[in-house]
């Protein structure tokens, strides 16, 4: 099907009209092309090095034993273009690295979102997917039913950030986030994979890399999860050391050596974005798509600890924290309490240490020992 530049511009305009702050279109490289082969090699190398941790969905393979996310054609041979949409989720609120009450935990900025009436949580996956499907319907109506499409928000067999960079949304920074010169890195991505040839190479304008010699994100990461590339190398993250992975994806116990470095983070981590110079002037989200719930900003650790199952479900219904579930969040709260220096948490921690949840009991016992010691030292910036 012949697609004109005007068709492409129409798609990008409709994406913004629907509520996305940024949009762009990238072509899907042919499997035999040098860029596709190199991307596939890098992805396989990252997985084989063990940097995906327990995230088995990233390791899915096809019948030939190749990683599905390494080459989009393995899952969707018909894919020709990827429409990339981004929404700014920044809130007018403190950063995690700013001074805070030592009894406060930290929930990642993206997980503060609630429904427009703030009556309950709101998962960005659902919010963005609803709008993506609206755009998909308009694309189908304009180009006909013969156009194949699939919508994804973090769930598809592709590396969204790579397509975002090719579509001109931004460049992949040293913190491995997509960075936009105007919007910063507070961006959530959604994609529509389509069989339409929407992005000939002559139309594609990848964003220029503007990280320069800055290494603030690498220097600030408490767990050294960000891998500084050699000259011309690829920026990467060792997810098994990333606080976001440890507090959200990691099941069971967290390695004892990493616990002091987690600081007060109970769900996710924003440190590498908080220190980024490009986020100093990042605008507050203009859309009401993902309004922030004030009670989740610097939440009191004892408030989180006191929630029983029904209370947790009520507060976090529809929220990203609902998927992580209460047991894992309490494990993180116990570690944050241990890092707080606040001995007033000892009764709660001792009760958990005597409980039946083995993982929580072990984390709580560690926290009791840490608080009972006089050798608690200040952690890295943003961790206390």
Half-sphere exposure at residue 239, Cβ-oriented, CA atoms within 13 angstroms: 16
- List Cα–Cα distances, 168 to 314, 346, 382, in angstroms: 40, 51, 31
CA 199 to chain centre: 26
Q: Helix 326-340 vs helix 346-353: angle between axes, to the nearest 10 degrees? A: 130
Handedness of CA 359, 109, 185, 11 (dihedral sign): positive
Task: Quickly list H helices, 186-325.
Answer: 216-220, 243-244, 259-262, 271-274, 301-305, 309-316, 320-324
Q: Hey, which residues does 190 pair with through a beta bridge?
A: 85
Question: Cβ(89)–Cβ(288) under 8 Å?
Answer: no
- The DSSP secondary structure of 143-174, one letter per residue, reads H-TT--EEEESS-SSS-HHHHHHHTTS-EE-T
The Cα–Cα gap between 28 and 148 comes to 14
Question: Cβ(311)–Cβ(321) under 8 Å?
Answer: no
Beta strands in the chain (DSSP E): 22-27, 81-88, 106-107, 149-152, 171-172, 178-179, 187-194, 226-227, 236-237, 265-267
Strand-pair category, 106-107 with 265-267: parallel
10 Å Cβ neighbour count for 119?
A: 11
Strand-pair category, 226-227 with 236-237: antiparallel
Catalytic residues: 154
Question: Cβ(329)–Cβ(357) under 8 Å?
Answer: no
Q: What tokens does 51 get?
A: 């940097």
């Amino acid at each position: 099907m012949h697609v004109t530049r005007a068709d492409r511009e129409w798609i990008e305009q409709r994406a913004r009209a629907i509520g996305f702050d940024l949009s762009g279109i990238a072509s899907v490289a042919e499997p035999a092309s040098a860029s596709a082969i190199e991307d596939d090699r890098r992805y396989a190398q990252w997985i084989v090095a063990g940097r995906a941790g327990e995230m088995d969905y990233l390791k899915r393979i096809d019948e030939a034993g190749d990683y599905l996310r390494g080459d989009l054609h393995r899952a969707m041979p018909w894919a020709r273009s990827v429409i990339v949409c981004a929404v700014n989720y920044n809130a007018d609120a403190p950063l995690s690295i700013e001074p805070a009450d030592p009894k406060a935990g930290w929930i990642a900025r993206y997980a503060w979102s609630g429904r427009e009436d703030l009556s309950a949580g709101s998962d960005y996956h659902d919010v963005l997917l609803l709008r993506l499907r609206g755009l998909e319907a308009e694309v189908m109506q304009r180009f006909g039913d013969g156009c194949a499409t699939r919508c994804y928000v973090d769930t598809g067999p592709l590396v969204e950030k790579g397509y975002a960079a090719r579509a001109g949304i931004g460049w992949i920074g040293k913190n491995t986030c997509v960075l936009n010169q105007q919007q910063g890195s507070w961006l959530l991505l959604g994609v529509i994979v389509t069989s339409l040839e929407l992005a000939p190479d002559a139309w594609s304008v990848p964003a220029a890399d503007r990280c320069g010699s800055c290494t603030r994100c690498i220097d600030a990461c408490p767990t050294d999860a960000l891998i500084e590339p050699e000259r011309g190398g690829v920026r990467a993250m060792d997810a098994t050391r990333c606080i976001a992975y440890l507090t959200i994806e990691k099941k069971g116990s967290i390695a004892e050596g990493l616990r002091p470095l987690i600081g007060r983070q109970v769900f996710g981590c924003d440190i590498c974005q908080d220190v980024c110079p490009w986020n100093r002037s990042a605008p507050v989200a203009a859309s009401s798509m993902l309004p922030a719930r004030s009670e989740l900003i610097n939440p009191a650790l004892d408030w989180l600890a006191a929630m029983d199952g029904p209370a947790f479900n009520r507060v976090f219904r529809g929220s990203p924290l609902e998927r992580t579930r209460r047991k894992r969040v309490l494990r993180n709260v116990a570690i944050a309490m241990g890092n707080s220096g606040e001995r007033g948490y000892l009764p709660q921690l001792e009760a958990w240490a005597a409980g039946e949840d083995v993982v929580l009991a072990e984390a709580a016992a560690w926290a009791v020992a840490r608080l009972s010691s006089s050798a608690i030292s200040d952690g890295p910036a943003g961790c206390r």
